[in-house]
Amino acid sequence: MKLKKLVVIAALFFNNQINYSCSIFAYVGSQLCKAHVLKGLSRLEYRGYDSSGFAVYDIVTNDLVVLKKPGKIAELKMAALASSCDGYAALGHTRWSTHGVSNEVNAHPHTNDDRTFALVHNGIIENHFQLREQLSKEGYTFKTETDTEVMVHLFDQELKKTDDIKKATLQTVRKLKGACTFVALHKDHPEMLIAARQRAPICIGVGEDGMHIASDFLAFADKTNQVFFMPEKSIAFIKKGAIFAYDYDGNVLPIETKTVNLQPSAYEKLDHDHFMLKEIYEQKIAIEKTVAHLHELGDKVWSQLGLTPQQARTLFSLNLFGCGTSWHAARIGQFFFEKIAKMPTSVYLASEFRYMEFFPCLDCLFMSVSQSGETADTLELIRYFKKFGARLATLTNVATSSMVRETNGHLLTKAGPEIAVASTKAFSTQLASLYWLAHRFALQRGHINMEQMAQAEKDVLHAASVLEQTIDQYKVDIIEAAKTYAQAQRIMYLGRHVTYPFAMEGALKLKEISYIFAQGYPAGELKHGSIALVDEHTPIILFSHQDPVIYQKLVGNAQEVKARGGHLLIFAFEGQDELIQLADRVYTIPRVAPLLEPLAMTGIMQFFAYQVALVLGRDIDKPRNLAKSVTVE
């Protein structure tokens, strides 16, 4: 086997939010692997948990055995325990449904009619409709509602034309459009797995006893730290001691492995009931690590971002983009760059902007914000911008992610792996990084001096302490209050200026884990329509601001709510007595540097959502319908 080792030792954190939201795990080697594949799949369950499935080349019957179950992976494990099948090559899948409901039929793996191979897929095949019509005309019948089934029939068709498995695989992948990463096991080649990567990530862990193939190396972190990341548009044939990889033209690709480091404790809940709670409490340390990393980077940040110091001085504008929580962080970041670095800054929602007109600007920086570095909507926007020659960078938590590979430069947050589906420490470390970067730009552009830069780092660390200290201070009260707020049908979150995008993040956090409808709204807009919703049954959560002018406006908004009999839960800052007196319930927060209000309030905002979800008995780490890494558009 030609394995070239690239010694890239990094603190790599791979996971989340997560984005092609199913997961694949497979093994081929010298060990019986049923238990190993099921364990690996459990570690990837955060990427999708609507159904799961498993296929093995069974050494007793010399045949493929396929097991599939709707629901969480525990169901599949029970079925696997009850079956005596086992073998040296197997593959598994957890699904986040895109085409077809979550039932056994639609669960992966899928097999061809002759049951000669089983296949698992991650992504969405964009031309599946046309392919389905064409294959139907050619005599194939469809038993599932999935897009994956077209891939199965296509592969079957190509395999019937030739004995050359490489040719058949290449012919199959060339016909597929969209995200079409798959792994297959063919019973005529029981010593080998077939893999293809198109858009959704897949990597191969080179172990002593065999090869581990996964959507995220977390699945095999206990077995090996030598990882081959399959390049975009490549196929591979994987055997116990060898990987043979090719591009779509059939050219041989070099197999270069990277050494990855993982912290095993990140994957344990330790003494917390949920990963989300553990991760809420990890934020102070994660922010400290992020600031220490950025401090050490110093002015090397420009080369890391793919810029010259001169470009950093003269860039016309900054354009941030992302989805969900990361988009909220970017929206808050916009205030940092405009106020501190005096840079015109725009923020785009990746899933929307792709379809809008883009007016290229060569003197601008386009920076994605993404915990996972894999979110399909954000990745696609990167690719869209790239076509216009835009200068691209990414702020991400995952050094090995596609976004790092596909942009000119990057900055890393040091949140560590985030396992809970709801993002917590990824968000706060994004805020810390954006605040730091805004100051670094300001320094480079002559708006601040080194002393102010150093002060900014201290300010972030202080806000991180406030974030943690306020959870301890208000814990008991929030646990009690959650019993009442859990009864609400809907909750409105209000903010102004930097606390408006923070209100949107507060509402998202509550919605995704408690399933209570919540909306983040600009406080000033209330009177333009939404105030009609205010009544005693719709609690309003208001995030204050330290700026005296904005604060006074918020006092006015709070009065408008009280005048209509509304219930107010207020997150206020020390000394804001007028606002505090209007509150039905209040959490008072120590003052922090201007614009760091969201960071300081993050801890109790998240803890509140967590407690409400707990009262309602929700599956907090794996909320319904969601997946950590959203790798479909």
Interacting residue ranges for ligand F6R, rule: CB under 6 A: 16-19, 322-326, 370-372, 375, 378, 422-423, 508, 512, 630
Comparing CA positions, the residue from 609, 608, 633, 613 lying closest to residue 624 is: 613
Rounded distance between C-alpha atoms, residue 132 and residue 151, angstroms: 9
Q: Which of 258, 278, 622, 628 is catalytic?
A: 628
Residues in the chain: 633
| 236/323 with CB nearer ligand F6R | 323
| 448/507 with CB nearer ligand F6R | 507
Which residue number has the CB closest to ligand F6R?
324
| 106/326 with CB nearer ligand F6R | 326
DSSP letter string over 415-477?
-----SSS-SHHHHHHHHHHHHHHHHHHHHTTSS-HHHHHHHHHHHHHHHHHHHHHHHHHHHH
Q: Which of 22, 33, 180, 323 is catalytic?
A: 22
CA angle 153, 154, 157 (to 5 degrees): 85
Q: Where are the beta strands (DSSP E) in 469-529?
A: 490-495, 517-522
Comparing CA positions, the residue from 544, 578, 199 lying closest to residue 377 is: 199
Rounded distance between C-alpha atoms, residue 255 and residue 96, angstroms: 30
What distance lies between CA 545 and its chain's CA centroid?
A: 29
| 326/546 with CB nearer ligand F6R | 326
Active site residue 364: no
Q: Is 321 in a helix, a strand, or coil?
A: strand
Q: Are strands 364-370 and 181-186 parallel, antiparallel or unpaired?
A: unpaired
566-596: b or e for each residue (b if 16 or more CB lie within 10 Å)? bbbbbbbbeebeebbebbebbbbbeebbebb
Rounded distance between C-alpha atoms, residue 331 and residue 321, angstroms: 9
Q: How many Cα atoms are found within 13 Å in the side-chain-facing hemisphere of 452?
A: 15
Least distance in angstroms from the C-beta of 72 to ligand F6R: 20
| 508/561 with CB nearer ligand F6R | 508
Least distance in angstroms from the C-beta of 350 to ligand F6R: 8
Specify the DSSP element, H or E, that contains 76: helix 73-82
What distance lies between CA 172 and its chain's CA centroid?
A: 29
Active site residue 628: yes
Q: Is 491 in a helix, a strand, or coil?
A: strand
What are the residues whose beta carbons fall under 8 Å from the beta carbon of 62, sequence distance 6 or more?
187, 190
Least distance in angstroms from the C-beta of 505 to ligand F6R: 8
Least distance in angstroms from the C-beta of 371 to ligand F6R: 3
What secondary structure letter does DSSP report for 125?
B
- Strand order of the β-sheet with 540-543 is 517-522, 490-495, 540-543, 568-573, 585-589
What are the residues whose beta carbons fall under 8 Å from the beta carbon of 539, sequence distance 6 or more?
485, 488, 491, 492, 566, 567, 568, 569
What secondary structure letter does DSSP report for 156?
H
Least distance in angstroms from the C-beta of 341 to ligand F6R: 23
* Three-state secondary structure readout of 571-620: EEECCCHHHHHHCCEEEEECCCCCCCHHHHHHHHHHHHHHHHHHHCCCCC
| 19/345 with CB nearer ligand F6R | 19
**Residue 355 backbone dihedrals phi, psi, to 5 degrees:** -100, 10
What are the residues whose beta carbons fall under 8 Å from the beta carbon of 437, sequence distance 6 or more?
294, 301, 336, 337, 395, 411
Position 164: which residue type? D
Rounded distance between C-alpha atoms, residue 512 and residue 162, angstroms: 49
Handedness of CA 198, 202, 208, 209 (dihedral sign): negative
Rounded distance between C-alpha atoms, residue 540 and residue 213, angstroms: 48
Question: 323, 350 in Cβ contact below 8 A?
Answer: yes
Comparing CA positions, the residue from 444, 430, 410 lying closest to residue 305 is: 410
Catalytic residue IDs: 22, 628
